[in-house]
Chains A and B, each alone.
Chain A
Amino acid sequence: MASDHTSTHDGTPVSDIDVSALLAGMAEELRSIIRTGQQEVAMVGIRTGGVWVAEQLHAALDLATSLGALNINFYRDDFTRIGMHPQVTPSVLPFEVEGRHIVLVDDVLYTGRTIRAALNELFDYGRPARVTLAALVERNGRDLPIQADVSGMRITLEAKQQIKLSGPTPLALALSTRL
């Protein structure tokens, strides 16, 4: 574990990380995964940060189908604890999910609960042939057996620390500590 929690393992401060370089690496990896598949590919970002990341990857991969966006508000497992938040940007999936290879994109993979909710919602639209998970940042602290197929970077943080993506332009990462 890094001793200085404002920086990554190689000592780069989180705020100095070049997000576009991470995205370029992810696009490269995704390209080779997509190439091996038989099914038509569609990409879905999880609102809000995941959509920003997905927009970049979608453009880099030059996918034929329009980008989708999921708002997992109705599928959260903490609904009865923290209640309903008004949401003005509902889910939009401008393609058939049935039989497609879906690339699901989020900004930070942490507990895995968001991805669980996103998978449940995705399946309410249809039965995808395959789902690949891409996350810009993979951090420790999983509560569920979920992992990314492609990630821009990995980081080990303490439970009270939070890594957040700001955007959409420019995309930048920042570390904060909950009191």
Chain B
Amino acid sequence: MTVAPESTNLQLDQNGRLRHFLDINGLTRELLTGILDTAEGFAGLHERAVKKAPLLRGKTIINLFFEPSTRTRTTFELAAMRLSADVLNIDVQVSSTTKGESLLDTLRNLEAMHCDMFVVRHGSSGAAHFIARHVAPGVSVINGGDGRHAHPTQALLDMFTIRRYKGAFENLSVAIVGDISHSRVARSQIAALKLLGAREVRAVGPATLLPGALPQMGVNVYTDLDDGLRDVDVVIMLRLQRERMSGPVLPSSNEYFQVWGLTEERLARAHPEAIVMHPGPLNRGVEISSEVADSKRSVILEQVSFGIAVRMAVMSMVLGRGPEAQDAD
């Protein structure tokens, strides 16, 4: 699934600032590092008496979710609230589209309510790009996950987590394990790791769940878990996305765990200081054992906390780019 060249430029204004945030592809290393640095400033906000900054006071943000989500929607909502924006959650599965309204009509109606930003999650690849192409000039779009294509804020919060625990990317070997072909998270992670200069990115999983284009993306492919984990600094486990699978690509969950599940014994092959990550939701006993998920090396819950700071950074950078921004500096 490739993104048309015009749509990668769609997310930047003529000064190279973020206008929308749709995909890691098309961004520069400087911009990604800038987002991570900004997020660092927001990460301590929750320790204060008032867990809010007034940056987006008076802005209205609509979470437009065409697919179910708890973690992503909640952290986007909290991020917007901590920036003092007004937030509206619209669960489109139970809304007008089921009454036959088209996506563009839904959009026009929401725009008429004078919102400043849409956070969009959709089951179809390219949905956020489509909406970004059709919104009014002052309105921004953030991709909260589109089909199998991209989930850029998830990838960024993963990069933030890695940087917090491991420092510079240049020396790191990162293994992404599991169902890579159905994973928009993995696609965005690979793009971000490559852009930030990780030493090695490995894709580890059963051949039926590995897309063919991995070697062209500079990713080393492993079809054996023990080999793939050897000496890595970061292990990212992916959720088995049964809802996106068609046909018999896999044996039972139990068999999957026997061959591909991360256990303490298997993790011992990684670097002794390696951290374990997972974008959630966890399937305990399918891709990861409870023992590993709850161990000291698991930073899965930290990822969730950091997700708020990273989403605050993206939202404030996209909306803090007013018309006058072009004259400044």
Give me the interface of A with B, judged by CB distance under 8 Å: 71, 73-75, 79-84, 86-88, 90-92, 97-98, 120, 123-126
User: Among the listed A73, A81, A82, A124, which residue makes an inter-chain contact with B48, where contact means beta carbons less than 8 Å apart?
Assistant: A124
Q: Are A74 and B55 in contact (CB under 8 A)?
A: yes
Give min CB distance, A68 to chain B, whole Å.
Answer: 12
Q: Are A74 and B41 in contact (CB under 8 A)?
A: yes
Q: Are B322 and A80 in contact (CB under 8 A)?
A: yes
Q: A80-B320, A125-B49 are in contact. List 7 more A-B contacts (CB 8 A).
A: A74-B41, A82-B328, A83-B328, A84-B313, A86-B37, A87-B40, A90-B44
Q: Are B325 and A83 in contact (CB under 8 A)?
A: yes
Residues of the A chain whose Cβ atoms lie less than 8 Å from the Cβ of B48: 124-125
Q: Are A84 and B40 in contact (CB under 8 A)?
A: no
Q: Are A91 and B328 in contact (CB under 8 A)?
A: no
Interface residues on B, range: 20 to 34
Q: How far is the CA of A71 from the CA of B52 in the complex (A)?
A: 14
User: Among the listed A79, A83, A126, which residue makes an inter-chain contact with B17, where contact means beta carbons less than 8 Å apart?
Assistant: A83
Q: How far is the CA of A98 from the CA of B48 in the complex (A)?
A: 11
Query: Is B199 in the interface zone, CB < 8 Å from A?
Result: no
Query: Is B114 in the interface zone, CB < 8 Å from A?
Result: no
Residues of the A chain whose Cβ atoms lie less than 8 Å from the Cβ of B50: 123-125
On whether A81 and B41 interact (CB within 8 A), knowing A98-B49, A124-B48, A124-B50, the answer reads: no
Contacts between the two chains (Cβ within 8 Å), count: 70
Residues of the A chain whose Cβ atoms lie less than 8 Å from the Cβ of B42: 74, 90
Residues of the A chain whose Cβ atoms lie less than 8 Å from the Cβ of B324: 80-82
Q: How far is the CA of A83 from the CA of B44 in the complex (A)?
A: 21
Q: How far is the CA of A130 from the CA of B37 in the complex (A)?
A: 33
Q: Are B41 and A71 in contact (CB under 8 A)?
A: yes
Give me the interface of B with A, judged by CB distance under 8 Å: 17, 33-35, 37-38, 40-44, 48-50, 52-55, 313, 316-317, 319-322, 324-325, 328-329
Q: How far is the CA of A64 from the CA of B38 in the complex (A)?
A: 32
Which 8 residue pairs of A and B lie closest in terms of their CB atoms, listed nearest first? A74-B53, A86-B37, A124-B50, A82-B328, A84-B320, A80-B322, A83-B320, A86-B34
Q: How far is the CA of A123 from the CA of B50 in the complex (A)?
A: 8
Give min CB distance, A42 to chain B, whole Å.
Answer: 15
Q: Are B37 and A87 in contact (CB under 8 A)?
A: yes
Residues of the B chain whose Cβ atoms lie less than 8 Å from the Cβ of A97: 49
Residues of the A chain whose Cβ atoms lie less than 8 Å from the Cβ of B328: 81-83
Q: How far is the CA of A26 from the CA of B252 in the complex (A)?
A: 75
Residues of the B chain whose Cβ atoms lie less than 8 Å from the Cβ of A86: 33-35, 37-38, 41
Residues of the B chain whose Cβ atoms lie less than 8 Å from the Cβ of A124: 48-50, 52-53
Q: Are A84 and B317 in contact (CB under 8 A)?
A: yes
On whether A88 and B40 interact (CB within 8 A), knowing A80-B322, A82-B329, A83-B17, the answer reads: yes
A123 closest partner in B (C-beta)? B50
29 A-B residue pairs with CB within 8 Å: A73-B41, A74-B41, A74-B53, A74-B54, A74-B55, A80-B320, A80-B322, A80-B324, A81-B322, A81-B324, A82-B325, A83-B17, A83-B320, A84-B38, A84-B55, A84-B313, A84-B320, A86-B33, A86-B35, A86-B37, A87-B38, A90-B41, A91-B44, A92-B44, A98-B49, A123-B50, A124-B52, A124-B53, A126-B49
Q: Are A79 and B37 in contact (CB under 8 A)?
A: no
Residues of the A chain whose Cβ atoms lie less than 8 Å from the Cβ of B320: 79-80, 83-84
Q: How far is the CA of A123 from the CA of B321 in the complex (A)?
A: 27
The listed residue with most B CB atoms (<10 A of its CB), out of A73, A84, A92, A97, is A84
Q: How far is the CA of A97 from the CA of B50 in the complex (A)?
A: 12
Residues of the B chain whose Cβ atoms lie less than 8 Å from the Cβ of A91: 44
Give min CB distance, B323 to chain A, whole Å.
Answer: 9
Q: Are A75 and B38 in contact (CB under 8 A)?
A: no
Give min CB distance, B264 to chain A, whole Å.
Answer: 36
Residues of the B chain whose Cβ atoms lie less than 8 Å from the Cβ of A87: 37-38, 40-41
Residues of the B chain whose Cβ atoms lie less than 8 Å from the Cβ of A125: 48-50
A120 closest partner in B (C-beta)? B54
Q: How far is the CA of A124 from the CA of B49 in the complex (A)?
A: 6
Residues of the B chain whose Cβ atoms lie less than 8 Å from the Cβ of A92: 44
B40 closest partner in A (C-beta)? A88
Give min CB distance, A63 to chain B, whole Å.
Answer: 22
Give min CB distance, B116 to chain A, whole Å.
Answer: 11
Q: How far is the CA of A87 from the CA of B38 in the complex (A)?
A: 5
Q: How far is the CA of A84 from the CA of B35 in the complex (A)?
A: 10
Give min CB distance, B142 to chain A, whole Å.
Answer: 15
A80 closest partner in B (C-beta)? B322
